[in-house]
Structure 1
Amino acid sequence: MRTSTPTVLTLLSTSLLAIALAACQRDADPPAAPVEPAQPDATADVDAAADPFQCPADPGTAPSGELAATRIAAADGDGANGLYEGPVWTGDALYFSDFRFSEGFPSKIRRLTADGRLETAIDPSGSNGLALGRDGALVAATHDRKELSRYDLMDGSRMRIVGEYQGQPFNSPNDLAVSEDGTIWFTDPDFQRGDATGQERTRVYRVGTDGEVTVVDDSIANPNGIALSPSGDTLYVAGGGEQGVLRAYALVDGQAQAGHDLASTTVPDGLAVDCLGNVYLTEHTQRRVRVISPQGEQLATITVDANLTNATFGGPQRRTLYLTGAGAVWSIDLDVAGLPY
């Protein structure tokens, strides 16, 4: 099924990433704690410094065997009452959502700097998954307003991208990925739905640069993590709960083709992708990451000491894997570069 949303054009980037934002409205009162825009990382690879989404010519070697990530003490929080989610690396800092299990799942965006300082970037944010626009803005899946939002890290302002399908609000947008041309792909489970309004099914959606919203897949119960291959020709989605799947969809002319299951999984959550095309699948209650090749072969496992939510690559050369979970952030240095969200 297809439907159109009202369209206004607000660019997330002055270069390749031009997202057509639907019905954008700037909040009258910006969040209380805006941050200064992140500066380019001068120590990054030449390719990465010129374009934060571009993989280096020599991406490195994939991990293998059984590994363990290390908890970052500065980011320790209350894992019994909330989760860290949606990590994204920009400039010299890791941004992630910090939400509580209390009514409405209140959320804020935190910043963990390279020198180990934990700060509040935007409060409130209502966000879960985060992605990065090339203008330095964050694109967020937000459960508070059941929409996709854009946050400007310079002044903390928020604008709506899209918030409904066929005249009804989404359930609780969870995670998202942005194609090079500005197309947004996102998952809409019902984890933080909060009230009776929403969609009759949980789905994976595509938002075109013209603001049109279409369904990619409605057959995965509570789809969760989502990511793109480095070349942008494959979309990955994880979901399904206790007996879940990692599903791959070929992208042809910007449209997702029929998906095929790449791997079975237990309580899957977020995804990351390295520059070799390997998928880093987090398994929430298993407290581990499984590294899976594009052909579905398991290459490595990375364990942590609490429930796990999501993953991204960061650091000067994008060779540090950052993991978020129940009141914790972990890191592990790898021999391969990866994408920053």
Structure 2
Amino acid sequence: MTPITQARSFPRRAATPALRFLPGALLAALLCAPLAPVSAAPPCSGAAPSGELTATRVPGTAPAGSEAGLYEGPVWIGDALYFSDFTFGPGFPSRIQRLGPDGKLGTAIPDSGSNGLARDARGNIVAATHNVKGVSRFDLASGKRSLVAATFQGQVFNSPNDLAIAADGTVYFTDPSFQRAAAPGGQDATRVYRVAPGGKVSVVDGGIANPNGIALSPAGDMLYVSGGGEHGVVRAYPIVGGVPGKGRDLIGGVAVPDGMTVDCQGNLYVTEHTAQRLRVFSPAGKQLAVIKVDANITNAAFGGADGKTLFMTGAGAVWQIRLGLSGKPY
């Protein structure tokens, strides 16, 4: 979540002519009042989900065509949900769709070549893009693309899949081989990468087979990565001084882990692709809830006016379920 800006108080200033006529106590209160927080996160209150729940499909989000594909990378920006819509044709053609507050679905970015999505501090979409085998930033107003990360050690990536952005602008992303055939070239291994604010790319972990989902704790002091296939794991990396340390397996027995998100309490929402479910875990790795869907699932994000609607994407479907607390918008 976006950290709350600490309120500040300013020293007393000379009163302007318009203020000289105010009573002294009121004048002092006005001059020394703290500034309102900028982009403050809503208060974290409420209970995490528990037990077994079922999400429902969002009307009007079925694919327009008949070609098989996936919806991926949901992200809530402003008053709308954005997500990638790609097919399994040559190059894995992809576009970014927008589901507006009126319930209408439209294309926001055509030919994005994207998979997982996130939003930066300015409200732009940052995307894991398999068509250019790198990480891209899209300006929502113009649709213009710029590259955040293009290569590592002189080579393009395999097929960037999902990403998370820290408060200081650091981008973390996974690079499995699922859409490696989308374009020539690639890396000699599947890895998790870190892109520093200055653009330098470094490896976080090269020991997870096909790393997939990725998320940050609300305080930004823990990085989570899922991967490993049929008998997958969620691995946790403590972040100290902005740099992830050695990871440890927090959750085991995850069936084909895909994308994930976190709520404001730090609970993890982990999708299991072919199991057609999302499981909720505490920060300590204890299972809290299961949310079922009716098709293969790919990813999840919180949204809605109060941030308490969990949206999930998958095989030609977007699902939603109301929860008791807010969470990460991607």
Fold agreement, TM-score > 0.5: yes
Aligned pair 1:112/2:99, yes or no?
A: yes
Distance in 2 of aligned mates of 1:244 and 1:52: 39
Q: State the 1:135 CA deviation.
A: 1.4
Aligned pair 1:176/2:163, yes or no?
A: yes
Aligned pair 1:167/2:154, yes or no?
A: yes
Deviations for 1:232-285, whole angstroms, at most 9, x for unmatched residues? 000010000111101111000011011111111010000010000000000000
Partner of 1:164: helix, strand, or coil? coil
Name the residue aligned to 2:9: none
2:59 is aligned with what amino acid?
A
Structure exhibiting the larger radius of gyration computed from Cα positions: 2
The answer for unaligned runs of 5 or more in structure 2 is: 4-35
Q: State the 1:53 CA deviation.
A: 7.2
Q: State the 1:52 CA deviation.
A: 9.4
2:95 is aligned with what amino acid?
K
Alignment counterpart, residue 227 of structure 2, candidates 239, 253, 260:
239
Alignment counterpart, residue 91 of structure 1, candidates 73, 78, 83:
78
Deviations for 1:30-57, whole angstroms, at most 9, x for unmatched residues? xxxxxxxxxxxxxxxxxxxx88975422
Distance in 1 of aligned mates of 2:118 and 2:204: 19
Alignment counterpart, residue 65 of structure 1, candidates 45, 51, 57:
51
Q: State the 1:163 CA deviation.
A: 1.0
Name the residue aligned to 2:299: 310
Distance in 1 of aligned mates of 2:107 and 2:86: 12
Q: 1:137 to 1:51 in 2, by over 3 A?
A: farther
Partner of 2:60: helix, strand, or coil? helix
1:61 is aligned with what amino acid?
A
Partner of 1:238: helix, strand, or coil? strand
Runs of 4+ in 1 over 6 A off after TM superposition: 50-53
Q: State the 1:80 CA deviation.
A: 6.2
Distance in 2 of aligned mates of 1:142 and 1:260: 28
Distance in 1 of aligned mates of 2:327 and 2:199: 29
Q: 1:209 to 1:153 in 2, by over 3 A?
A: same
Partner of 1:214: helix, strand, or coil? strand
Distance in 1 of aligned mates of 2:37 and 2:170: 18
Distance in 1 of aligned mates of 2:208 and 2:168: 26
Deviations for 1:62-101, whole angstroms, at most 9, x for unmatched residues? 0000000000121012686000000000111000000010
Distance in 2 of aligned mates of 1:79 and 1:67: 30
Q: 1:51 to 1:260 in 2, by over 3 A?
A: farther
Name the residue aligned to 1:33: none
Distance in 2 of aligned mates of 1:79 and 1:278: 36
Partner of 1:89: helix, strand, or coil? strand
Name the residue aligned to 2:30: none
| Greater RCO structure (CA 8 Å; 6+ sep) | 1
Q: 1:263 to 1:79 in 2, by over 3 A?
A: farther
Distance in 1 of aligned mates of 2:110 and 2:71: 14
Aligned pair 1:76/2:65, yes or no?
A: no
Distance in 2 of aligned mates of 1:54 and 1:106: 37
Q: State the 1:196 CA deviation.
A: 5.4
Name the residue aligned to 2:283: 294
The within-5 A match list for 1:1-341 is 54-77=40-63, 81-194=68-181, 197-264=185-252, 265-341=254-330
Instruction: Please identify, of 192-201 and 88-97, the stretch whose mean Cα deviation from structure 2 is larger.
Output: 192-201
Q: State the 1:183 CA deviation.
A: 0.4
Deviations for 1:287-325, whole angstroms, at most 9, x for unmatched residues? 000000100100000000000000000000100000000
Name the residue aligned to 1:47: none
Distance in 1 of aligned mates of 2:303 and 2:217: 17
Does the 8 Å CA contact 1:53/1:340 hold for their aligned counterparts?
no
Instruction: Please identify, of 78-87 and 53-62, the stretch whose mean Cα deviation from structure 2 is larger.
Output: 53-62
Distance in 1 of aligned mates of 2:120 and 2:66: 29
Deviations for 1:178-198, whole angstroms, at most 9, x for unmatched residues? 000000000000000115511
The answer for unaligned runs of 5 or more in structure 1 is: 1-15, 18-49
Does the 8 Å CA contact 2:76/2:303 hold for their aligned counterparts?
yes
Instruction: Please identify, of 129-138 and 231-240, the stretch whose mean Cα deviation from structure 2 is larger.
Output: 129-138
Partner of 1:242: helix, strand, or coil? helix
Partner of 1:130: helix, strand, or coil? strand
Q: TM-score, normalised by structure 1?
A: 0.84
Does the 8 Å CA contact 2:67/2:87 hold for their aligned counterparts?
no
Partner of 2:47: helix, strand, or coil? coil
Q: State the 1:104 CA deviation.
A: 0.2
Does the 8 Å CA contact 2:44/2:265 hold for their aligned counterparts?
no
Name the residue aligned to 1:35: none
Q: 1:200 to 1:326 in 2, by over 3 A?
A: same
1:123 is aligned with what amino acid?
P
RMSD value over aligned CA atoms? 1.7
